[in-house]
Amino acid sequence: MSNPDNSADPAAHGAAAPDPDATTVLPEGSFEPQGSVLEQALAAETAKAAEHYTNYVRVLAELDNVRKRASREADQARRYAVERFAQDLLPALDGYELAQGATDASPEALRAGADATRRLLLKAFESAGITAIEPASGAAFNPEQHEAMVAQPVPGQPANTVVQTIQKGYLLNGRVLRAARVIVASGA
């Protein structure tokens, strides 16, 4: 009994079944176009990598320049931060030196010169953001702005209040530059 449709059977046509382990030989040069495409892609990627490396080196150099510039500017800021304050103090020093050199001046003239020098100093302090801490008698003791030199009992004054200011304190833009030295009531 033969099958009328032998087209599916390779042995029926006299051909052998394909060997799955067989190697197919391709004609010479059939891989060259693909090889040249790969070489071109590799060359393009190598060029990109070189460009990225160049950009990386430039960014590192720029970052180093920025760091050095910032360091120089910070150093200059530290050196010359008090320049404006010093310029404001120079007139006060000039007035003081004039008063020192005036040996034949009257006491009233010396007093007026000392007052002018004090005004110039206070003006320089004000422009620099320096304000005085001078607690009034009876004010509450503030350990952040006051330094208690003595605690003594004072009749009629509550404990932890300022009795007397011995030396003014100063704030620089709200931060304590020097605490005010005070005598504090210790209670009865």
For residue range 39-95, what is the model confidence (pLDDT) as tens digits?
A: 889 999 999 999 999 999 999 999 999 999 999 999 988 888 888 888 888 988 888
Assessment of whether the complete model's pTM goes beyond 0.75: no
Alpha carbons 5 and 9: distance in angstroms, whole number: 9
Which residue type is seen at 25?
A: V
Is 183 a member of any domain? yes
The answer as to whether 124 is a domain residue is: no
Is 4 contained in some domain? no
Consecutive H or E run containing 75: helix 32-80
Give the mean pLDDT of the chain.
85
Which 8-state DSSP code applies to residue 155?
T
Q: Residue 153 domain-assigned? A: yes
Handedness of CA 16, 17, 21, 26 (dihedral sign): positive
Q: What is the DSSP letter of 168?
A: -
87 occurs within a structural domain: no
Q: Does residue 51 form part of some domain? A: no
The Cα 129–Cα 85 span in angstroms is 10
Q: Is residue 17 part of a domain?
A: no
Would you say residue 60 lies in a domain?
Answer: no
pLDDT number for residue 110: 83
Residue whose pair of structure tokens reads 């304190």 in the numeric block:
169
Q: Tell me which residue has tokens 């500017």.
A: 73
As for how many domains the chain has, the answer is 1
* Residue 165, domain CATH: 2.30.22.10
Task: Report whether pLDDT(130) > 70.
Answer: yes
State residue 19 phi and psi, 5-degree precision. -85, 120
Which domain range does residue 146 map to?
Answer: 130-188
Q: How many CB atoms lie within 10 A of CB 95?
A: 19
Specify the 3-state DSSP secondary structure of 11: helix
- Residue-level pLDDT at 187: 74
Nearest CA-CA partner of 183 in 153, 135, 148: 148
* SS3 of residue 161 by DSSP: strand
